[in-house]
Structure 1
Amino acid sequence: MLALDNITLHLGDRELLDGVSTYINPGERIGLVGPNGAGKSTLLKIMVGVQECDEGTVSLSSEETLGYLPQDGVDPDFSLTVIEEVESAFAELFELEMKVKAIQDELAGIEDHTSKKYEQLMDRYGKLQTELESSGLYGLRSEVEKVLDGLGFSKEDFHRNTSEFSGGWLMRIALAKLLLKRPTYLLLDEPTNHLDIESLQWMENFLNSYEGAVVVVSHDKAFLDTITNRTLALRSGDISDYAGNYSFYEKKWEEEKELLLNAKKNQEKQIKETQEFIDRFRYKASKASQVQSRVKQLEKMEKIELEEEQSEVSFRFPEPQRSGQVVMRLEDLDKSYDDHQVFSGLDYEIERGDKVAVVGPNGAGKSTLIRILAGNEPFQDGKRDVGHNVTVNYFAQHQADELNPKRDALETMMDAGSGQKESRLRTILGCFLFQGDDVFKKVKVLSGGEKSRLALAKMLLSPANFLIFDEPTNHLDMSSKNILQQAIQQYEGTCVIVSHDRAFLDPIVNKVLEVQPGYIKTYLGNVSYYLTRKKEEEEAKVAKEAAKQEKESEKNQQLSRKEQRRIEAERRNAKNRRTKPIRQKIEAVEAEIEEKETRKMEIEDLMAQPDFYDDSEQVKGISIEYEQLKTDLTDRYSKWEEYQQRLEAVEQEVIEELDS
């Protein structure tokens, strides 16, 4: 069990964590929630030991392990490829393999098999070989590839250098290393920020079947609801425990607030009545004892305090001018980066009032598409026609990083050049939780969430009837996302949004544009509808393939036996020609396996003889041969499995070619 006892941390005069105590059992699924600045990330850092606390302890048994994914700041080895970087998390296993090989080489060089050194090495060799066989090293590469594939990396990406990837992809590499290590307690700080919908769904499936405990900080409500069954809420330095997911917590917290509010009103009424009695009879001798009793009652009363709620924020985008019916049209558009073609002959039309979610795997071209829509990305061929009276406002994925770090929040708004009065600019900033002197905070000291809110606030100053957003919710807390969501719902213009946050998108969008390598497809509905349709399409595809095979089977049955034999012979010959080199390799490996298995059985029979151990020279020599045979057999079985997979792949290719 991971136990936190009386964790206390001060930030200046503020008590960020005030005696926080809780526990996490192995296998639990926990969402750690609370407003921005409540201390969620700090508490994770304290758990893992990268942040010290003023008081309190974190307890963990020596058999248990912790794994931690920060929000950012991962530092890979840029000299390694992606797969090498991920495998570096298992350096101790590769070191173990090298130790075993080194001992094998050393044993081979010792002529005196009766020496004490030889005997000691044999003993160490046996222990290390057993440890290596049970370590899972031989199946590691396939596991690494499976996780990287799930997180959106292509086979070509595996062997690209890590220096070629953006920060978001580097976070995925760090996540892959962590998931493969399978620690007892997995601590994840905003793991969904850099995932697309496909890899997010894979991540949910992975975590739901994960054997260890998961503690996750996330502002993705759908993600939390899917994977968690317990919620720890940080508020005003204290922690509360709820036996359910985020939606359960939201409901219970609203009920608790209502009860606390009623209790506070009743208490205030009681205090007022008691104080009125004291004031009325303070100087009346006959009531002196009763007055003193009520004074003591007030002194002993523990007043109910309601935490100060985060400022209620609401805003509307500036009322846009009415645009033409067609807002934007792309015709026969080609876009490529060097030899990589992103779009070829792309046609797409956006109409007034459309609210479109753009989804698809990372690297398929979502951000490229919306930069083209925004007019910020050149293309090689085709047309981008802007509709009548259309004005565009674009929130880029890294818009917050483009703010001038030397300017403060208010100056940033003034720099937008809208001509609005300072009072109006401060009102808008207030809507995004920049209260009082917060408007004078320099951009360079703002948190990621504050920078995103400032960038969105700046966007308000430019009236537009076509809004384009690229991942606007990254680094926003639940409250800020709700505010932005409501504003876009009320917005009367047209908008296009790239986001992986289903709970944010669903109430907003009426169309989903799926961007896949080589094609785009529109679904009329929200993201939940799109995911349902995708599932139905996959099921229909499987059913169609099954029907095709059944139809093919019936067709084959109707053919004459002679014709059928001819077709089957052609298939066999084509398959045999293509698969002959692989089958020869399989036969060679099988021969080696048979030879080594026979020799292994001979040695085992020899070892079973009572007088075998009388000859120490023979024992040591045979033992080395026996251990080497086991290692060789493991290697040969691995090769056999690899050749079998290649054989199946080639056979499938031949079948598809003959069927086409």
Structure 2
Amino acid sequence: MLALENITLHLGDRELLDGVSTFINPGERIGLVGPNGAGKSTLLKIIMGIQEMDDGSVALANEETLGYLPQDGVDPDFTLTVLEEVETAFSELFELEMKVKGIQEQLSQVDPQSKEYEKLMERYGILQTELEASGLYELRSEVEKVLMGLGFSEEDFHRNTSEFSGGWLMRIALAKLLLRRPTYLLLDEPTNHLDIESLQWMENFLNNYEGAVVVVSHDRAFLDTITNRTLALRSSDISDYAGNYSFYEKKWEEERELLMNAKKNQEKQIKETQEFIDRFRYKATKARQVQSRIKQLEKMEQIELEDEQNNVSFRFPEPPRSGQVVMKLEDLHKSYDEYQVFSGIDYEIERGDKVAIVGPNGAGKSTLIRILAGNEPFQKGDRIEGHNVTVNYFAQHQADELEPKKNALETLMDSGSNQKESRLRTILGCFLFQGDDVFKKVKVLSGGEKSRLALAKMLLSPANLLIFDEPTNHLDMSSKNILQQAIQQYEGTCIIVSHDRAFLDPIVNKVLEVQPGYIKTYLGNVSYYLTRKKEEEEQEKKAESVAAEKEADKNDQLSRKEQRRVEAERRNEISRRTKPIRQKIESLEKEIEQMESRKVEIEEAMAQPDFYDDEEKVKKFSLEYDQLKSDLTDRYSKWEEFQQRLEVVEQEVSSE
């Protein structure tokens, strides 16, 4: 058991931790939560012995081990490859292997009849047994499995660590930590540098992990998936909840409501007591009672409530209305030297779309949104902005473009939004700039603070197409909720790259999956996308398995000539039974093509500056446009229905 007893720490005049005591049992899954600055990361550092404390103790059994992943600051050996760097986590085992090889070499040079040979053989037996028990021989395949789960390709294994960005270096550090399998795994914001696929792999890994896991994270879905106990740091103390983050949130709201009622009652009692004191202070007959009430007030422990941001709201400026089609990519090609990112992709964004862009790191998500934002050149194709489209783009590097000599408040005041100072302070508060933090110069802000300030500045500019690249990485739960609500209420079009499913799900209505070589759209939120992906993968595996079994059976039973005859008959049968369906599909496709062509003609007419001068024409085209959209929806639905019928018939014939 890992026991924390009376942990106390002061930072200047502030009491960060005041007698914090708790315990962690082997195998537990714990979320360590609390508002920004509550001391979560500091507590993990105290457990690891990195941060000194003013008082208290951390107790750990001799045979138990700790493993820790910080938010940043990992320092790999840049002379090593990825595989070599990860294997340094097991340097003692590789040293043992070298000792065994060394004895083998000595044995080849010593007389087998000598006493020296006998001693070497005895030593060799002991070390060889130890080596086999260590699991080193299975370790290399486990290393590769973990690295691939975290998004590395086999080609990456042999690349030098100096070739990778900070986010990928964090993944290397995480791989080393997961492979060590400590008794207590302490993770500080482990999801910040993962894509959705790696995140799902990690959730599965941690759910099957034998040791205890303590995680600090602002990813609600991640916490809900892996934790079953929550430790909440608030007001320098810790509270224990027997459930995941959603359970804790519900219980905390109930507790807060009770606390607010208790505070109201206490304030009423204080007021009545003070009124009695003021009224009878100078009456001799009431002197004893007055003194009693004064002592009562002095002894009363006043109920304090934390400042909460839940009642703070933020709305984007009203966006100018754009055309129905906001952005089009046509036959777009993009490559970096020999590496082809996109080869002839087409994509269309309509007014009001809220799109999540997902996919593995390196597939081209950030490249795609930079192209959409107009910040990235491409080799071939067209990027077509719709009528009256104004774009606002947030990326992590924009933090570097802030004016270093200005403070946070001045940065927002110079954004041209003409908002009052009080309103700008409120917005800064939404993004964790409290009190005098608004006067901090940009040049002294941390990377996370600069990113939050750049996000706040961007949100003050009116635009009808917002593009975000990982906007939640440096936000706490409360700030994410405020941003989430603002995007939900936003009437323009929005594109977001993020791995935070709980943040995305209530916002988006489409998911664009970017994979090496293709893109694919799913109508729905991220949870729907993940469900569909799982179903598709299971169907694909099942189809491959069935096909393999059938192929094996047929190879056993039929000659090649017979196989060709049977396959020809099957093709003829499929053709005969699917012909009416294919004719329907072809007919629908012609109708769709004609309707799409007419829809484009109307859109081009609508984009003309003088289009809205003719009211009769506007009315006629608008009615036709709406009817076309309705008819297209109907035709696509029927097309999908006939496609499904076609697949069913083909499967039936194949299984006969």
TM bin, normalised by shorter chain, reads 0.7 to 0.9
Written as runs of structure 1 = structure 2, the 5 A alignment for 1:528-547 is 528-547=527-546
Mapping of residues 464-503 of structure 1, within 5 Å = 464-503=463-502
> Distance in 2 between the 1:138 and 1:356 partners?
46
- CA distance 1:558–1:210, change in 2 (3 Å): closer
Q: Kindly tell me: are residues 563 and 433 of structure 1, through their superposed partners in 2, closer, same or farther at Cα, counting changes over 3 Å?
A: closer
Comparing 105-114 with 210-219, greater Cα deviation is found at 105-114
Distance in 2, matches of 1:419 and 1:301, equals 47
Mark the CA change 1:324 to 1:96 in structure 2 (over 3 Å): closer, same or farther. Answer: same
Q: Does the 8 Å contact 1:313/1:432 carry over to 2?
A: no
Shift of 1:18: 1.3
Whole-angstrom distance in 2 between the partners of 1:562 and 1:318: 72
1:52 maps to 52
Q: Deviations over 1:410-443 (max 9, x none)?
A: 3433554556676664454344343443222022
Q: Is the 8 A contact 1:452 1:476 kept in 2?
A: no
- Cα displacement (A) at 1:84: 1.1
1:455-604 equivalences in 2 (<5 Å): 455-549=454-548, 552=551, 559=558, 563=562
CA separation of 1:158 and 1:501: change in aligned 2, threshold 3 A: same
Equivalent-residue separation in structure 1 for 2:192 and 2:88 (angstroms) = 24
Q: Which residue of 2 aligns with 1:14?
A: 14
CA-CA distance at 1:461 after TM superposition = 3.1
Q: The residue matched to 1:496 in structure 2 has which SS?
A: strand
> Which residue identity does 1:408 align to in structure 2?
N
| Residue of structure 2 equivalent to 1:38 | 38
Is residue 20–residue 239 contact of structure 1 (8 Å, CA) maintained in 2? yes
Of stretches 194-203 and 56-65 in structure 1, the one that deviates more from structure 2 is 56-65
Separation in structure 1 between the aligned mates of residue 391 and residue 326 of structure 2, nearest angstrom: 10
CA distance in 1, matches of 2:256, 2:411: 37
Alignment: residue pair count: 566
Larger mean Cα displacement after TM superposition, 244-253 or 535-544: 535-544
CA contact (8 A) 1:100 1:128 kept: yes
CA distance in 2, matches of 1:499, 1:516: 15
Judging changes above 3 Å, is the alpha-carbon distance between structure 1 residues 208 and 462 closer, same or farther for their aligned structure 2 residues?
same
Change in Cα spacing, 1:563 to 1:391, as seen in structure 2 (3 Å) is: same
Cα 1:309–1:414 shift into 2, 3 Å = closer
Return the alpha-carbon distance in structure 2 between the equivalents of residues 349 and 485 of structure 1: 24
Letter of the aligned partner of 1:40 in structure 2? Answer: K
Larger deviation: 174-183 or 394-403?
394-403
Q: How does 1:125-144 map to 2 (within 5 A)?
A: 125-144=124-143
Within 5 Å, which residues of 2 pair with 1:359-370?
359-370=358-369
Amino acid at match of 1:321: P
- More displaced stretch, 54-63 vs 381-390: 54-63
Q: For each residue in 1:109-140, what CA deviation from the matched residue of structure 2 results, as whole angstroms up to 9, or x when unmatched? A: 4448554x655544433322211111111111
CA contact (8 A) 2:188 2:215 kept: yes
Deviation at 1:561, TM superposition (A): 9.6
Residue 46 of structure 2 aligns to which amino acid in structure 1? Answer: I
- 1:356-382: per-residue Cα shift (whole Å, max 9, x none)? 000011111100100000011111111
What's the counterpart of residue 619 of structure 1?
none
Q: 1:58 is matched by which residue type in structure 2?
A: V
Instruction: Return closer, same or farther for 1:314/1:450 CA change in 2, 3 Å cut-off.
Output: farther
Q: CA deviation at 1:497?
A: 0.3
Q: Does 1:159 align with 2:158?
A: yes
Residue of structure 2 in register with 1:608 after alignment: none
Pair 1:76 & 2:98 matched: no
Paired with 1:541 and 1:434, the residues of 2 have a C-alpha distance of: 49
Shift of residue 407 of structure 1? Answer: 3.4
Partner residue of 1:28? Answer: 28
Q: Which amino acid aligns with 2:63?
A: E
2:35 is paired with a residue whose SS is: coil
1:139 is aligned with what amino acid?
Answer: E
Counterpart-to-counterpart distance in 2, 1:174 and 1:183: 14
CA distance in 1, matches of 2:462, 2:530: 33
Q: Which residue of 1 aligns with 2:333?
A: 334
Q: Is the 8 A contact 2:431 2:475 kept in 1?
A: no
Q: CA deviation at 1:37?
A: 0.9
CA contact (8 A) 2:309 2:430 kept: no
For 1:62, the equivalent position in structure 2 comes to 62
- Residues 270, 532 of structure 1: CA spacing in aligned structure 2 closer, same or farther, 3 A cutoff? same
Say which SS state the counterpart of residue 73 (structure 1) adopts. coil
Further displaced range: 6-15 or 399-408: 399-408
Equivalent positions of 1:140-219 (< 5 A) are 140-219=139-218
Does the CA contact (< 8 Å) of 1:327 and 1:352 recur in 2?
Answer: yes
CA distance in 1, matches of 2:324, 2:181: 53
**Partner SS, residue 134 of structure 2:** coil
Identity score, percent? 86
CA distance in structure 2 between the partners assigned to 1:404 and 1:87 by the alignment: 43
Q: 1:289 to 1:404 in 2, by over 3 A?
A: closer
Change in CA separation of 1:411 and 1:277 when aligned onto 2, cut-off 3 Å: closer
* Separation (CA, whole Å) in 1 of partners of 2:6 and 2:473: 32
- Find the residue that maps to 1:398 and give its secondary structure: helix
* 1:373 aligns to 2:372 (yes or no): yes
Indicate if the aligned counterparts of 1:360 and 1:514 stay in contact, CA closer than 8 A: yes
| Residue equivalent to 1:92 | 92
Deviation at 1:354, TM superposition (A): 0.5
SS at match of 2:377: coil
Q: Alpha-carbon deviation of 1:310?
A: 4.6
Output the TM-score relative to the length of structure 1.
0.81
Alpha-carbon distance in structure 1 between the residues aligned to 2:443 and 2:47: 28
Which letter maps to 2:450? Answer: K
- SS of residue in 1 equivalent to 2:249: helix
Distance 2:452 2:373 in 1: 21
Give the Cα–Cα distance (whole angstroms) in 1 for the partners of residues 286 and 382 of structure 2: 91
Aligned counterparts, 1:367-406, within 5 A: 367-406=366-405
Given that 2:341 and 2:517 are in contact with CA atoms closer than 8 Å, whether structure 1 keeps it comes out as yes
Deviation track 1:133-172 (CA, whole Å, cap 9, x = no partner) reads 1111111110011001111111111111111111111111
Q: CA deviation at 1:218?
A: 0.3
> 1:202-239: CA deviations, max 9, x gaps?
00000000000101000000000000011111111111
Kept in 1, the 8 Å contact 2:554–2:563? The answer is no
What SS does the aligned partner of 2:396 have?
coil
Q: Structure 2 CA distance, aligned partners of 1:321 and 1:123?
A: 83
8 Å CA contact 1:185–1:215 kept in 2: the answer is: yes
Structure 1 residues 153, 19: CA separation in 2 closer, same or farther (over 3 Å shift)? same
In structure 2, list runs of 5 or more residues that go unmatched.
Answer: 567-656
Q: What is the match of residue 302 of structure 2?
A: 303
Instruction: Report the alpha carbon displacement of residue 488 of structure 1 after superposing the two structures with TM.
Output: 0.6
Q: Give the distance between the partners of 1:510 and 1:205, measured in 2 at CA.
A: 27
Aligned AA (2:331): D
1:349 is matched with: 348
Match of 2:603 in 1: none
CA deviation string 1:156-213 (max 9, x = no partner): 1111111111111111111111100101111101000010111100000000000001
**Who is 2:592 aligned against?**
none
Query: How many Å apart are 1:566 and its aligned residue?
Result: 12
**Would the alpha carbon gap of residues 292 and 214 (structure 1) be closer, same or farther in structure 2, given more than 3 Å must change?**
same
Superposed CA deviations along residues 523-550 of structure 1, whole A, max 9, x for unmatched, are 1111111111111212222333344356
Amino acid of the structure 2 residue aligned with 1:318 = P
Secondary structure of the equivalent of 1:305? coil
Cα 1:315–1:565 change in 2 (3 A) is closer
Q: Give 1:350 deviation, angstroms.
A: 0.5
Change (3 A) 1:284 1:439: closer
SS of alignment partner, residue 134 of structure 1 = helix
Corresponding residue of 1:324: 323
Secondary structure of the structure 2 residue equivalent to 1:15? strand
Structure 1 residues without counterparts, runs of 5 or longer? 568-660
Alpha-carbon distance in structure 1 between the residues aligned to 2:121 and 2:328: 75
Letter in 2 for 1:259: L
Distance across 2 between alignment mates of 1:472 and 1:559:
60
One-letter identity of the residue aligned with 1:95: E
Aligned equivalents of 2:112, 2:335: Cα separation in 1: 67
1:391 Cα shift? Answer: 0.6
Q: Which residue in 1 is equivalent to 2:594?
A: none
